[in-house]
Amino acid sequence: MSKQFTRTEYEQLKAQLNNHAYHYYVLDEPLIADAEYDVLYQELLQIEASHPEWVTSDSPTQRVADQPLSKFEAVKHARPMLSLGNVFAQEELTDFVERIHKLLEKAGQGIKEINFSAEPKLDGLAVSIRYEQGRLSQAATRGDGTTGEDITANIKTIQSVPLKLRGNDYPDVFEVRGEVVMPRDGFVKYNEWALANDDKVFANPRNGAAGSLRQLDPQKTAKRPLAFYAYSVGVVEPAHGLTYHSEVLAWIKSLGLPVNVLNKVVAGENGCAEYYENIGAQRADLNFDIDGVVYKVDNLAWQDALGFVTKAPRWATAHKFPAEEATTVVENIDVQVGRTGSITPVARLKPVTVGGVTVTNATLHNEDEIKRKDVRIGDTVFVRRAGDVIPEVVKVVLAKRPKGTSPFVMPTYCPICATKLYKAEGEAVLRCPAGLSCDAQLKESIKHFASRKGMDIEGLGDKLVEQLVDAGLVNTPADLYHLTESQVGGLERMAQKSAQNLLQGISESKQTTLPRFIYSLGIREVGEATALTLATELKTLPNIMQTDAEALQELPDIGAVVAQKIISYFAVSSNKEVIAALLDVGISWPVIEAPAQSKQPLADQVVVLTGKLNVFTRADAKNRLQELGAKVTSSVSAKTNYVLAGENAGSKLRKAEELGVTVVDEAWLSAYLE
């Protein structure tokens, strides 16, 4: 007769198994042998079979969901998941550290040496994991930084991620951020199994991690060897009140989440450089892929003072390892037509492995570059690849050049639509001016429109886009919304269910956001960050379409070149017709509300900060002005209403005086705040 367990004994056994998992996966100090753990786990299964009403979400048995998902739901991050700037050389690291010193000095922080929290830059997939009342409630991919995909069911399958935080002293809401990776030993073993079972083999560990997290069936993800390492927090309620980033990492670990053991606090530029060299020397022996190291200012108050630029923090950077290179042979050279009509020469290579990835193509950038490097068919060349950057041909090994080769000549006419190519003044790139009437540009534009960062149309892959264009079913993005089941079902490899799913994905994409819609249009030089700026600053599509170049340049991080690209795009009648057609099919987004005017004494006033401030830090002054409704810009123009000048103000103050702009001081801002 099997033993009868009480509810208390069940809870104790569950806690015991979770504690063993913490020691095994987080501390790397197992308390019992695997066989003993398995006996306890089987005991837990028996109890839960007898008492299913006792089972809670934090039980070790609840890691793998029974049913596959139909699709991934979108998750809007409570706080954006930012990207990082990069440095590649010692000089760039010096510039990064010096820039931080100068910014902190301007913010009233005169510091001789800065401590950095340094860590390996894992080559995996960034995710956020949210706990509510200590229990795992949601997990999401980074996505575009603002919106990701709900991968909760898949994250639960990772044994190193606790389903419940350790102890009882945890915040009500705790969001941890980190990287999911596939360890190298697990990657090798999985590929051996896949080959033996005629299953998909992963190209590299990063591909394995990303592919595993995007499985709709959690039971398949559970079979993949994945690990998670935390590197920061997002939303924490109530706030943690800690002083240093390194303290935050220790706190994360105490709550039961893995933190990389190679993390270290280092002093100043020399400490960063030494850490970089040490990690680089260990790189080949690590059990996970890395492509550099990350430095973060350790003092959290200084992080706040330094602030952000568009999508990246000023207080952190990634120090990338040198790009990996290999030699191979150029078997052919042809040209590709890009979304904006750019003509890019591409070297077709004899397959070669570079940085764990098989490379068969490499960019030659443009006509000037291919002439400068003099790359020819038959040449032996060095190929470089760094992270996710497109491989490029570095140089030719002239000593191995075959006799009788000829320089490559760029085409005069578009290889797709036969339109005569042109090169704009000041540009190195040849372009096809045909726009959407060129099938190559149309295909790339539709792919961009439907991409995850754009309209995020589920099921509309690159090959399907090419079929739709080749069949004449899609000539503008708006045509996607008029497709019928019979049209889609008639395409190659499209069964009825697949056709229905695609049409559902297209229909669901009608509900979007203004930043996504602007990005999806494919305006030259307008990426995610610029699209977000346009939407949040100008609020409506008509405002964006009608704002002049000078006003656009008043917006954060939009210069003269980008402003002109935006103006030029909306000046083209065919572009406006496509936008009208998209709105006609029902594409819409939530209204972006302007701040209440009654609470905004500086609403629509343009303010420029200059000189050293004493009462406020620069970041604080900017935040306070924005709270009052002001638009804080970096350059003085005739549209500037106020220049807030501190000590040693320079050219901006002189320009304000020349233009007759009102000059104010910190007392003026203090008066408004009072």
User: Residue 674: is its pLDDT beyond 70?
Assistant: no
Last residue of a domain, one of 584, 605, 640: 584
In a domain, 329, yes or no: yes
- 435 vs 63, which has greater pLDDT? 435
If asked whether residues 166 and 315 sit together in one domain, one would say: yes
Q: Mean per-residue pLDDT for 392-409? A: 93
The predicted-structure confidence for 458-505, as pLDDT tens digits, reads as follows 889 999 999 999 999 999 999 999 999 999 988 988 888 889 999 999
Reported confidence tier of residue 598, pLDDT bands at 50, 70, 90: very low
- Is 420 among the domain residues? yes
pLDDT at 141 over 90: yes
Q: What is the pLDDT of residue 361?
A: 93
CA–centroid distance for 524 within its chain: 20
Residue 650: burial class (beta carbons within 10 Å; 0-12, 13-18, 19+): exposed
Report the amino acid identity of residue 607: V
Helices (H), 245-286: 245-254, 268-282
According to DSSP, the β-strands at 642-645 and 606-610 are parallel
Contact in structure between 608 and 635 (CB atoms under 8 Å) = yes
Q: Do residues 214 and 286 share a domain?
A: yes
Q: Is the dihedral of CA 561, 562, 563, 568 positive or negative?
A: positive
Domain CATH code at residue 444: 1.10.150.20
Q: How many Cβ atoms are within 10 Å of 595's Cβ, its own excluded? A: 12
**Co-location of 630 and 666 in the same domain:** yes
Q: Classify residue 82: in a domain, yes or no.
A: no
Alpha helices in 85-243 (DSSP H): 90-106, 152-155, 184-196, 205-213, 218-221
Whichever domain contains 660, its CATH number is 3.40.50.10190
Sign of the C-alpha dihedral computed for residues 522, 526, 529 and 532 taken in this order? negative
Query: DSSP 3-state helix, strand, coil percentages of the chain (rounded to 5)?
Result: 40, 20, 40
pLDDT-derived band at 136 (thresholds 50, 70, 90) equals very high
422 within domain boundaries:
yes
Residue 402 has pLDDT above 60, yes or no: yes
> Which of 128, 227, 243 minimizes the C-alpha distance to 175?
128
Last residue of a domain, one of 584, 610, 628: 584
Say whether both 388 and 476 belong to one domain.
no
**Do 639 and 535 reside in the same domain of the chain?**
no
Q: What is the pLDDT of residue 297?
A: 96
Cβ contacts of residue 603 below 8 Å, gap of 6+? 595, 597, 629, 630
Report the alpha-carbon distance of residue 419 to residue 376 in Å, rounded. 25
| Token pair recorded at residue 597 | 């005017």
pLDDT in tens, 562-586: 999 999 999 999 999 999 999 999 9
Q: How confident is the model at residue 1 (pLDDT cuts 50, 70, 90)?
A: very low
What are the pLDDT digits (tens) for 187-235? 999 989 988 888 888 878 888 898 899 888 888 899 899 999 999 999 9
If one counts the domains in the chain, the total is: 6
Q: Is 655 a catalytic residue?
A: no
More confident residue, 420 or 22: 420
Residue 653 has pLDDT above 60, yes or no: yes
Provide the token pair at 51. Answer: 């008492």
Last-in-domain residue among 378, 413, 433: 433
What is the band of 388 on the pLDDT scale with cuts at 50, 70, 90?
low
- Indicate whether 293 and 207 sit together in one domain: yes
Q: Which of 121, 156, 631, 652 is catalytic?
A: 121
What is the CB-side half-sphere exposure of residue 592 using CA atoms within 13 A?
17
Residue 113 lies in a domain: yes
- Structural domain of 464: 435-508
Q: Which of 360, 331, 363, 329 is nearest to 344 (CA)?
A: 363
What are the tens digits of pLDDT across the range 240-268?
Answer: 889 999 999 999 999 999 999 999 999 99
| Percent share of the chain, pLDDT over 70 | 97
Instruction: Write down the pLDDT at residue 250.
Output: 96
Q: What is the pLDDT of residues 266-283, one digit of tens each?
A: 999 999 999 999 999 999
**Same domain (yes/no): 411, 480:** no
Q: How far is CA 279 from CA 45, 276, 311, 616, in A?
A: 43, 5, 27, 39
| 74 lies in some domain | no
- Predicted confidence (pLDDT) at residue 661 exceeds the cutoff of 60: yes
Report how far residue 509's alpha carbon sits from residue 449's, in angstroms, rounded to the nearest whole number. Answer: 11
Q: Which of the pair, 657 or 313, is modelled with greater confidence?
A: 313
Residue 80 has pLDDT above 60, yes or no: yes
Quick one: which of 478, 436, 442 has its CA closest to 457?
Answer: 478
pLDDT (tens digit per residue) in 308-354: 876 688 999 999 888 778 899 999 999 999 999 999 999 999 999 88
Considering the domain architecture, whether residues 245 and 394 belong to the same structural domain is answered as no
**Average pLDDT of the chain, as a whole number:** 88
- Whether 528 maps to a domain, the answer reads yes
Is 494 found in the same domain as 554?
no
